[in-house]
Amino acid sequence: MSAPSPTTVTTSRRTWPKHARTALLLAAVGAAVAPALIPVSTAGLEPHPAPALDYADALVKFQQLAEQDGSEINPLCRSQLLVHSHPTEWAIVLLHGITNCPYQFETFAPLLYQRGYNVLMPRMPFNGYLDTQTTALRHLTAEHLRDYGDRSVDIARGLGSKVAVLGLSTGGVVAAWLAQFRADVDRAVIVAPALGLGVIPAPLSNMAMHAFVRLPDMRKRRKAGSIEPPQVYANQSSRSAGEWMRLATRVFQAARHTMPLAQSAVIVSNGHDHVVSNRRAAHLMQLWQRTGYPVEQYLFPPDLRLKHDCIDPQQPDQHTEIVYPVLLDLLVPPATSA
């Protein structure tokens, strides 16, 4: 009797049909891309002015602002006010860049004070913390920046007959917003405004903004070996970038149809700046010009090799001896200085 033949057992591996795998891949790509395609709202980013009634009221408003600087704030980074004992012809507002603080103007502000002006240096929300490893910037919103600009000009209105605002980088975005929306700003000096990032092509700037606002916050650390002023944060926040870009977008939207309300404005670009988009700054200037607004332009030539932060004296390889005289004259042109 012959032995039974061995039984061959075969197993089949269940596999996804090719079209199903393709659908899953497309769904994954769509989920990644969708945040960049769904527009974020800029509704409500208009001003809510409440200007100081007089000098005494301005001091009260500043005290209320200063009381927001708790123990978590670096003493060097608290909101600062350099005032004479009376209103001056010009009140100057200095708006610092993101991750820095009012101490950025430690040597520039006294030059304005010595010229006879009252000078306000407000701290931007979620900046200036003692802990430079903080992740607080992820909480910053365009609404915070709107209120920051409003409140600064409100205080300044009681400090001088005229108000000039100078903003750098993200502070430059706020200065541009003030130029667009506040008629009680006499002069806006918009320095290297962060209207877009230098690494992102200008046509893709809005898509980047949508993604930054909608996706989880991502932190970018400083480059290894980079030297920054000690009060500057170690990390950048993608969420905060999306939010200051959202405020910038509101400026662009208004600029397409409406002349800026500030009495005068100048956009200061740095030809050597690769941190922010000079093309976006040029585009804003073009939009303002189309409305008939006489916006001025000043360009620091690229061969000067100025840093993006061309103001903080603690930055290495800084050239404040070139930058400060220009900014002083742009803020209050010599023909109208006190």
Residue 108 is part of a domain; what is its CATH number?
3.40.50.1820
User: Can you tell me the distance from the alpha carbon of 262 to that of 166, in angstroms, rounded to the nearest whole number?
Assistant: 13
Q: What confidence tens digit (pLDDT) does each residue in 274-332 have?
A: 999 999 999 999 999 999 999 999 999 999 999 999 999 999 999 999 999 999 999 99
Classify residue 214 as exposed, middle or buried by CB count within 10 Å of its CB (0-12, 13-18, 19+): middle
Checking if the pLDDT of 14 tops 60, the result is no
Task: Return mean pLDDT, the chain.
Answer: 90
Residue whose entry in the numeric block shows the structure tokens 């927001």: 68
Residues in the chain: 338
What pLDDT shows up at residue 333? 80
Position 228 confidence tier, pLDDT thresholds 50, 70, 90 = confident
What pLDDT shows up at residue 9? 46
Q: Is residue 34 part of a domain?
A: no
Position 29 confidence tier, pLDDT thresholds 50, 70, 90 = very low
Q: What is the pTM of this model?
A: 0.88
Q: Is residue 3 part of a domain?
A: no
Which uninterrupted H or E stretch holds 25? helix 18-37
- Among 54, 45, 50, 242, smallest CA distance to 137 is for 242
What pLDDT shows up at residue 177? 98
What pLDDT shows up at residue 38? 78
User: Can you tell me the distance from the alpha carbon of 153 to that of 193, in angstroms, rounded to the nearest whole number?
Assistant: 18
164 touches 90 (CB < 8 A): yes
User: Can you tell me the distance from the alpha carbon of 181 to that of 153, in angstroms, rounded to the nearest whole number?
Assistant: 12
- Name residues whose C-beta falls within 8 Å of residue 114's C-beta, 6 or more positions apart in sequence: none
Q: What confidence tens digit (pLDDT) does each residue in 44-87 have?
A: 999 999 999 999 999 999 999 999 999 999 999 999 999 999 99
Q: Is residue 20 part of a domain?
A: no
Q: Is residue 189 part of a domain?
A: yes
**Tokens representing residue 131 in the block:** 């802990």
Q: Of 8-12, 201-205, 206-210, give the range with the top mean pLDDT.
A: 206-210
Checking if the pLDDT of 30 tops 50, the result is no
In degrees, to the nearest 5, what angle opens at C-alpha 295 toward C-alphas 292 and 299? Answer: 145
271 touches 278 (CB < 8 A): yes
What pLDDT shows up at residue 335? 63
Residue with the bigger pLDDT between 51 and 204: it is 51
Position 40 confidence tier, pLDDT thresholds 50, 70, 90 = confident
Checking if the pLDDT of 8 tops 70, the result is no
Q: Is residue 66 part of a domain?
A: yes
User: Can you tell me the distance from the alpha carbon of 236 to that of 25, in angstroms, rounded to the nearest whole number?
Assistant: 31
- For residue 319, the enclosing domain spans 52-336
Backbone angles phi, psi at 249, to 5 degrees: -60, -40
The H-assigned helical ranges of 157-276 are: 170-181, 205-214, 238-255
- Name residues whose C-beta falls within 8 Å of residue 136's C-beta, 6 or more positions apart in sequence: 126, 129
Could you tell me whether strands 265-270 and 235-237 are parallel, antiparallel, or unpaired per DSSP bridges?
Answer: unpaired
What pLDDT shows up at residue 18? 59
User: Can you tell me the distance from the alpha carbon of 270 to that of 300, in angstroms, rounded to the nearest whole number?
Assistant: 5
What pLDDT shows up at residue 227? 81
Which uninterrupted H or E stretch holds 59? helix 55-66
Query: First-to-last CA distance in the chain?
Result: 122
Position 224 confidence tier, pLDDT thresholds 50, 70, 90 = low
Considering its fold, how many domains does the chain have in total?
1
What pLDDT shows up at residue 102? 98
What pLDDT shows up at residue 37? 64
- 27-41, 133-147, 162-176, 243-257: the lowest-pLDDT one: 27-41
Q: Is residue 45 part of a domain?
A: no
- Mean pLDDT value across residues 80-97: 98
Q: Is residue 183 part of a domain?
A: yes
Position 147 confidence tier, pLDDT thresholds 50, 70, 90 = very high
11 vs 7, 18, 21, 59, 322, CA distance in Å? 13, 20, 22, 83, 78
Q: What confidence tens digit (pLDDT) does each residue in 179-191 have?
A: 999 999 999 999 9
What pLDDT shows up at residue 270? 97
> What percent of the chain clears pLDDT 90, i.e. is strictly above it?
80
**Tokens representing residue 168 in the block:** 């750098």
- Among 127, 133, 86, 117, smallest CA distance to 235 is for 133
Residue with the bigger pLDDT between 336 and 295: it is 295
Q: Is residue 46 part of a domain?
A: no
